[in-house]
Amino acid sequence: MFISFAMLIAGLLGFPSSLHGFMGTTGTLEGVVKDKATGTPLMGANVIIVGTPYGAAADASGKFIVYNIPPGLYTVRVQMLGYQTALVQRVEIRPDYKTRLNVDLEQTSIEMDQVIIQAERPPIEKEITGTTYRFSSEDLKALPVTTFKDVVGFKAGTTMEGNVRGGKTTEVSYLIDGIPVQDLISGGLSSDLPTSSIVEMSIQTGGFDAEFGNALSGVVNVITRSGSNEYDAAFRIDRDNLFGGTQNNKEQELELSAGGPVLYDKMFYFVSANYYSSGTRWWQDMDKFFGPPTDKSLNLFTKLDYQFTSDVRLSTQLLLSDKEWRDYEFSWRFNLDGLPIRDRKTTRIAAILSHTFAESSFYTIRLSHQSISSLIGESKEAIDPTDIYQYDFYLQYIIDGSRSMFSESAQNTTTIKADITSQIAGYHVLKAGAEFNLYDVSADVLKYEPRKTFFGKPILTEPQLNFSTAYNYRPRSGSIYIQDKIEPEAGMIFSIGLRYDFLDPTASRPAIEQIPSTNPNDTIKFRPVGFVKAKLKQQFSPRIGFAMPLAEDMFLFINYGHYFQFPLFDYLYSGLDVVTLQRGASAVVGNPDLEPERTQAWEISLRRVLNKEFVASVTYFQKRTTNQIDTKTFVAIDSKAAGDFGFTEYVNNPSAEASGFEFVLTRQGGVFLNGDVSYTFMKAEGLSDRASQGLDYLQWGFQPVTSLFPLSWDQRHSVKVNLAFQLPFDIDARLFWNFYTARPYTYYPSRDGFTPLDPTRLFVPNNARMQNFNNIDIRVQRAFDLGLMRSSSLIAYVDVRNLLHERNVKWIDSSGRIGGELGDPSAYFIGRRTKVGIRMEVGF
């Protein structure tokens, strides 16, 4: 298998006429240069991207094209002998996108000053057939967000927690410069990144091409900054507790960045770092136990680019992220030092080589190594499973003892990616790529949890559930994709791609046998009797996209694809060691034979330019996910935990469905007001909304769910308003309003916390709704020109979250009480918070 896989990679890399760029980290500039008076194509006109080695000359038809350009805002000079030079400013190069620039030059017999032209962004991107949203570095600086991940919730079809089109938050893939930054044990983003290091960020909520894998719902791709021939530096600081009071988190952030040349025209550097600290919204309780701050993180990003020639570029990167924090639970508020401290460190080094080896072809090779280490708790030896923490008389607050939990995990990922790009016959953009990953994952977990009723009350008469495990495995994965993007005529796009992925778990799963019984009244029992080597997991994913003009100002987009995601490594390997299995010690056991989760999705979109400034779109999407992860228990049906020759195992079982409409109205180019307004109607239903659902139901004595129910993030009606205002006195303001109708929760009341109020009532998950959510965030800033050096400015800003101080409900207990019997304030989203800060930018 691996020999044939390697041969296929070699074959692709040796066939440059049919391949394309990987992971969309560079863009293309193309256009036509003509005589302004006659319309005659100007052969030989020079097109130069100022401050870079990139450029081209127009051919006999006046056409030019420049490939493999790093994203950003550029100035383009177009010149020809006998014509007045044109300087086009703010030309935006975007990843995996063709920026079109048509320039008309005016004849002149004398030397004249350059004519300056402001480039305009096209109202509709026709090259991308799926739904994609882009944010520039200037957008990120002006938005009311703390990290770049927060931006995901700003767009149609998403939630503020990061769910995309009805999927789980772990179904979104995050990439930095085309290289994944995923936590493969716990899921989600593995590290943060200083905002100043981002030049552009794209969010794909549907219809992503074959070059993107291991994601079911969305792809977030971040492109980082590079240095240039000009030195620049920036400094930012903000705090939220300058005005006293209690409506703050005692939060502060400091960020620094700098870039410039090491060797003029050859080598450039960029470095950025930020330090964040917070007492959290619970600082009044936290301060009684710990010195501030209780949450802190340090992120460092550095990049060194070397331009060997105008065609060869090497980029090296280092990303460091260190985060330390403490959890808060209201029932522990009198014993917070009994909760374990948490720490996560991420290191990623990467090298990216790009070579434009022909007029219309280039390849890119990426090599990276990412290391993630996570620690929960301070000492494994200090944990005594028989020493259960103590509740008060009413079993409400925990007043003594510590949570029995220690976890030390590590994951090392070495990745090599290769891709190649070529344009054929002027209208075929063919691309292909290959990727291979080597993993080294390990975990040492000692974890005991008391059994609880569905209503949250501890069952003190039962022994604790044991979730301990220890494992170390070295799986490997790889992929190949090929895609053809065809543009047979102006405005029409066909995109056809196929992706192949594999995962070799390099582990064995337990073999199960039924224990015979001579007593017909005995319930069925199972036990592990050996191990069976896990099979190689494979996935083929076809992707099809289509775009065509229906009129001069209206376009139709259709996209269909198969998507997949391999299970988290914890679901594969947890509790697989022989001793744990034979003793029935672990409450849940991994399954290295789990299949990838699979989604079939399609969308159809109609986008129309209403006038010079307004664009409207309507999109319908539908998707079905199968092979989702849940737990199945191989024990006697009257058991409540692992043991007794049985155990609970992760399995592929549940399915989910999501569908909806998205309506978006966008304005750009306005003098005083720009932005977008969206409305989404969406349904998200499934058989399970968490991987532990089967085990949970077993403990509580409930039967498995057999019919679809609304998932916890089922957000039926959503309105999002994202507006940018240009106010008097050069004040810029951004407003983000997020409204959605009530999400579901399970109403199954109890009077005492141990038994249901009505024992005959059928248990139905998420059978009730909470309250509507309404939130407004604003950011107001003003820039002051300091008149120093080449350029300098001081930006003062105020960032207000939850401007109206709404008490938005986060959760309700099964008896319909906000915050449960304790009135837990964490049942509400955070109230109003105000940050004040300054940012200084200098160019010299």
- Summarised one tens digit per residue, pLDDT across range 24-60 is 678 888 889 998 888 888 988 899 888 888 888 888 8
Gap between the Cα atoms of 332 and 381, Å rounded: 22
Helices (H), ranges, 245-288:
283-286
Give the pLDDT confidence score for residue 442 in this predicted structure. 94
Rounded to whole angstroms, the maximal C-alpha distance in the chain is: 108
604 and 708 part of one domain: yes
Gap between the Cα atoms of 83 and 112, Å rounded: 9
Asked, for residue 799, whether it belongs to a domain, the answer is no
Asked, for residue 679, whether it belongs to a domain, the answer is yes
Give the pLDDT confidence score for residue 519 in this predicted structure. 59
Cβ-contact 842, 234 below 8 angstroms: yes
More confident residue, 800 or 378: 800
How do residues 669-681 score in pLDDT, each as one tens digit?
888 999 999 999 9
What is the pLDDT confidence band of residue 198, given thresholds at 50, 70 and 90? very high
Asked, for residue 791, whether it belongs to a domain, the answer is no
What is the pLDDT confidence band of residue 515, given thresholds at 50, 70 and 90? low
Gap between the Cα atoms of 579 and 573, Å rounded: 14
Asked, for residue 258, whether it belongs to a domain, the answer is no
Structural domain containing residue 617: 131-225+327-741
Quote the mean pLDDT of the chain: 87
Any long-range contacts for 260-265 (C-beta under 8 Å, 24+ apart)? Answer: 260/227, 260/228, 260/229, 260/230, 260/231, 260/232, 261/227, 261/228, 261/229, 261/230, 261/231, 262/227, 262/304, 264/229, 265/53, 265/229, 265/307
Peptide bond into 293 cis (omega under 30): yes
Question: Both tokens of residue 631?
Answer: 């737990």
Please list, in sequence order, all residues whose beta carbon lies within 8 angstroms of the beta carbon of residue 431, skipping any fewer than 6 positions away. 19, 20, 21, 22, 211, 419, 420, 421, 422, 482, 483, 484, 485
Last residue within a domain, chosen from 118, 142, 172: 118
Please determine, for residue 527, whether its predicted confidence score (pLDDT) is greater than 70.
no
111 and 190 part of one domain: no
Please determine, for residue 17, whether its predicted confidence score (pLDDT) is greater than 80.
no
Can you give the CATH number for the domain in which 84 is found?
2.60.40.1120
Asked, for residue 536, whether it belongs to a domain, the answer is yes
340 and 213 part of one domain: yes
523 and 670 part of one domain: yes
How do residues 592-610 score in pLDDT, each as one tens digit?
999 999 999 999 999 999 9
Last residue within a domain, chosen from 703, 720, 741: 741
Helix (H) or strand (E) holding 443: strand 428-449
Please determine, for residue 344, whether its predicted confidence score (pLDDT) is greater than 90.
yes
338 and 483 part of one domain: yes
How do residues 775-821 score in pLDDT, each as one tens digit?
999 999 999 999 888 889 999 999 999 999 999 999 999 999 999 99
Give the pLDDT confidence score for residue 291 in this predicted structure. 86
Asked, for residue 42, whether it belongs to a domain, the answer is yes
110 and 179 part of one domain: no
101 and 143 part of one domain: no
Question: Both tokens of residue 204?
Answer: 């794909």
Structural domain total, the chain: 2
Please list, in sequence order, all residues whose beta carbon lies within 8 angstroms of the beta carbon of residue 532, skipping any fewer than 6 positions away. 508, 509, 510, 511, 593
Gap between the Cα atoms of 462 and 208, Å rounded: 49
More confident residue, 624 or 642: 624
How do residues 321-334 score in pLDDT, each as one tens digit?
999 999 999 999 99
**Residue 245: Cβ-neighbour burial (10 angstroms; 0-12, 13-18, 19+):** exposed
Please determine, for residue 19, whether its predicted confidence score (pLDDT) is greater than 60.
no
Can you spell out the DSSP letters for 105-120?
EPB-SS--PPEEEE--
Q: Strands, E, within 217-307: which ranges?
A: 218-224, 232-239, 252-263, 267-278, 295-307
150 and 205 part of one domain: yes
3-17, 562-576, 689-703: range with highest mean pLDDT: 562-576
Give the pLDDT confidence score for residue 21 in this predicted structure. 33
664 and 559 part of one domain: yes
560 and 606 part of one domain: yes
Last residue within a domain, chosen from 51, 85, 118: 118
Helix (H) or strand (E) holding 677: strand 673-686
Asked, for residue 675, whether it belongs to a domain, the answer is yes
135 and 24 part of one domain: no
Asked, for residue 475, whether it belongs to a domain, the answer is yes
62 and 193 part of one domain: no
Can you give the CATH number for the domain in which 417 is found?
2.40.170
Percent of the chain whose pLDDT exceeds 90: 55
pTM above 0.85, yes or no: yes
Phi, psi of 8 (to 5 degrees): -65, -40
How do residues 463-508 score in pLDDT, each as one tens digit?
788 888 889 999 999 999 999 988 877 678 899 999 999 999 998 8
How do residues 449-465 score in pLDDT, each as one tens digit?
888 889 888 887 877 88
Please determine, for residue 577, whether its predicted confidence score (pLDDT) is greater than 80.
no
More confident residue, 529 or 143: 143
Please determine, for residue 152, whether its predicted confidence score (pLDDT) is greater than 80.
yes
Gap between the Cα atoms of 632 and 650, Å rounded: 6
